[in-house]
Structure 1
Amino acid sequence: MRIVVVGGTGHVGTYLIPRLVAAGHQVVNLSRGTRRPYAEHPAWEQVEQLTVDREAEDRAGTFAGRVADLAPDVVVDMVCFTEESARQLVDGLRGRVAHLVHCGSIWMHGPSRSIPLREDSETVPFGDYGVRKAAIARLLLDETARGGLVTTSLHPGHISGPGWHPINPLGNLDPAVWTALASGAPLAVPGIGAELLHHVHADDVAQGFQLAIERRDAAAGQAFHVTAPSALTVRGFAGYAASWFGREPALEFVGWDEFRAGTTPEYAEQSWEHLSRSQFASSDKARRALGYAPRYAPEEAVREAVEWLAGHGELDVELSAG
């Protein structure tokens, strides 16, 4: 198939595009051209690279037409963040493209009312990002249900892998959390440590996208979670992480006001966004319908990311063997 990937040099595209090339597909990548993939791969030499400013072209109303004019069989949209942008693309591809596959987020759900979350779980999303992702998912499902463009939306958890900072046991991106766990220093934890975080390795997400593309009939008009097979409690995650450095975690459970007073507003807000949702999103539907089989447990996905950061001088920590 001829596949156009929008935003293919990001976390998931780094793994998805080599998978698609290896499977024999012809791939075109549309991106701003501002960064390389997180991991080099010879498959990128076979990819047609086109530079495009999607935000500017959405404002001008030209982006969807540009994509459709490339005559793809499938469009994979990794970087759609507003309902209006999604609507423009759907309208431009309808009747011209066989399948649109969209990258959503488990944040299309609000805080868990029961676990695991299913794709049709009734929760109320919150926050700008979560509300927008939920709206896009509804738009795509409705589009296909009405007999329009065939769409599929895939909803990853917290994407981890080599090359970038993963969400840490406090639900934020503060590198000091890793150094505290590595040194055995006390770590202030908001809440009681039972809140859930649900990570997934970027290559497992890429696997889900490849399956949705290649098993179109099973994926048509559906939403799927693409997550690790288990989720981590804050306490458990901290325990795994400390063990990578030969330590036990020294956790001090505090209220949210005290936690906010001891960190930056940015990190405090990140922690609240993740921990207040406390999500565990089941990937059983993707397993049954698509054959999705994630290779990484969540702690394995995060460890690989931390090892990369330490090995490239981005974290001043030393992991133990094993």
Structure 2
Amino acid sequence: MKIVVIGGSGHIGTFLVPRLVRAGHEVVNISRGTSTAYVEAPEWEQVRQVAADRERQDAEGTFGATVLALEPDVVVDLVCFTLESATALVEALRGHVAHLLHCGSIWRYGKSRKLPIAEDGEGAEPPLDEYGVQKDRIARMLKEETASGGLVTTTVHPGHIVGPGWHPIGPLGNLDPEVWTTIAAGKPLRVPGSGAETMHHVHADDLAQAFELAIADRDAAAGEDFNIVAPTALSVRGFAAIAASWFGQTATLETVTWDEFRAGTTEQHAEVAWNHLDRSQCFTIAKAKARLGYAPAYEPEAAVLESLRWLLDNGRIETPNPLIA
């Protein structure tokens, strides 16, 4: 099939595009032309590159026509963030394209109520921010589109994406590089909350696997949405203990209040940590396994370790002790 991937030069596309080429598909990548894949692969030589500014074309009402002009059988949309943008693309592709796949987010769900959270959303409160609200509205619109006999669609909701080239959400639920420095040195780590809060990661290649499986079995994926995460989730204290062992250390956690935590870090790091730990999410992948045959290769700690090793090897972060894992 001819597959157009929108935003295929990013983290997901780094793994998805080569997978699609190896599967024998003709692949076209639409991007702004300002970035390249995080990991080199010979398959990229067979990919047609098309430069387009989606934000500008969405404003002009021309992006759907740009995609349709490429005559795709399948479209994979990795960079759609508003209901308006998603609806415009659906209306352009309806009746012309066999399958549209959309990259959603687990942040379509809010705080956890009952774990693990399934796709029906009953295990979580409503989304907490505009990003999550938009992703939830898009997923609902796409499901209704297919149910009403329109365009065949599938939505994939990834967890916290990790892999080479990507800074992972760390043990405190944020991107603060000092967390890794503290853990590597064996120093006490100031932890807000109970330490039982959970985060659910996914390796970018496992996410790419899910997209590839949904493309290969359109009937199983039609009108569905899938939570795509690692087989297990990590708690704050468990994550910290595992990470410390990578440096030959034992984690020492110092429980602090959220006010104390905020006073000891930047506003941005505190806000990101709160957004992840307050949700305290954990998801089931039973539906993706049963319908698509999804079989993630990475436990969350293995996926994070791969990210961390890449960051260290490429000088993106520094730690006082080397990895021994």
- Measured in 2, the distance between the counterparts of 1:71 and 1:294 equals 32
- Measured in 2, the distance between the counterparts of 1:275 and 1:82 equals 25
- Measured in 2, the distance between the counterparts of 1:319 and 1:128 equals 40
Which of 235, 238, 242 in structure 1 is aligned with 2:237? Answer: 235
Q: Deviations over 1:191-211 (max 9, x none)?
A: 010000000100000000000
For 1:69-80, list aligned pairs within 5 A: 69-80=69-80
Q: Which amino acid aligns with 2:263?
A: A
- Measured in 1, the distance between the counterparts of 2:34 and 2:295 equals 32
- Measured in 1, the distance between the counterparts of 2:121 and 2:86 equals 23
What is the CA-CA distance between 1:219 and the residue it aligns to?
Answer: 0.2
For 1:89-238, list aligned pairs within 5 A: 89-122=89-122, 123-238=125-240
Q: Which amino acid aligns with 2:196?
A: A
Q: Which amino acid aligns with 2:271?
A: E
Identical aligned pairs, as a percentage? 61
1:321 has 2:324 as partner = yes
What is the CA-CA distance between 1:179 and the residue it aligns to?
Answer: 0.5
- Measured in 2, the distance between the counterparts of 1:308 and 1:272 equals 26
What is the CA-CA distance between 1:68 and the residue it aligns to?
Answer: 1.1
- Measured in 1, the distance between the counterparts of 2:134 and 2:174 equals 21
Does the residue aligned with 2:269 lie in a helix, a strand or coil? helix
What is the CA-CA distance between 1:69 and the residue it aligns to?
Answer: 1.5
- Measured in 1, the distance between the counterparts of 2:74 and 2:283 equals 26
For 1:292-303, list aligned pairs within 5 A: 292-303=294-305
Q: Partner residue of 2:15?
A: 15
Unaligned runs of 5+ in 2: none
Q: Partner residue of 2:49?
A: 49
Q: Contact conserved, 1:160 with 1:199, CA < 8 A, in 2? A: yes
What TM-score, normalized by structure 2, do the two folds share? 0.98
Q: Partner residue of 2:38?
A: 38
Q: Which amino acid aligns with 1:167?
A: I
Q: Deviations over 1:32-89 (max 9, x none)?
A: 1111100010000000000000000000000011101111000000000011000100
What is the CA-CA distance between 1:314 and the residue it aligns to?
Answer: 1.2
What is the CA-CA distance between 1:291 and the residue it aligns to?
Answer: 0.3
Q: Which amino acid aligns with 2:275?
A: E
- Measured in 1, the distance between the counterparts of 2:231 and 2:245 equals 21
Does the residue aligned with 1:247 lie in a helix, a strand or coil? coil
- Measured in 1, the distance between the counterparts of 2:72 and 2:322 equals 45
Q: Which amino acid aligns with 2:103?
A: C
Q: Contact conserved, 1:307 with 1:319, CA < 8 A, in 2? A: no
Q: Partner residue of 1:249?
A: 251
- Measured in 1, the distance between the counterparts of 2:257 and 2:146 equals 45
What is the CA-CA distance between 1:30 and the residue it aligns to?
Answer: 0.1
What is the CA-CA distance between 1:319 and the residue it aligns to?
Answer: 3.7
What is the CA-CA distance between 1:316 and the residue it aligns to?
Answer: 1.1
Q: Contact conserved, 1:165 with 1:306, CA < 8 A, in 2? A: yes
Q: Which amino acid aligns with 1:197?
A: M
Q: Deviations over 1:203-247 (max 9, x none)?
A: 000000000111100000000011000000000000110110001
Q: Which amino acid aligns with 1:85?
A: S
Q: Partner residue of 1:61?
A: 61
Does the residue aligned with 1:276 lie in a helix, a strand or coil? helix
Runs of 4+ in structure 1 deviating by more than 4 angstroms, as ranges, are none
1:279 has 2:288 as partner = no
- Measured in 2, the distance between the counterparts of 1:290 and 1:17 equals 19
Q: Which amino acid aligns with 1:142?
A: E
Does the residue aligned with 2:11 lie in a helix, a strand or coil? coil
What TM-score, normalized by structure 1, do the two folds share? 0.99
| Superposition RMSD in Å | 0.8
What is the CA-CA distance between 1:188 and the residue it aligns to?
Answer: 1.0
What is the CA-CA distance between 1:121 and the residue it aligns to?
Answer: 2.1
- Measured in 1, the distance between the counterparts of 2:15 and 2:130 equals 28
Does the residue aligned with 1:12 lie in a helix, a strand or coil? helix
What is the CA-CA distance between 1:321 and the residue it aligns to?
Answer: 3.0
Q: Which amino acid aligns with 1:144?
A: T
What is the CA-CA distance between 1:19 and the residue it aligns to?
Answer: 0.3
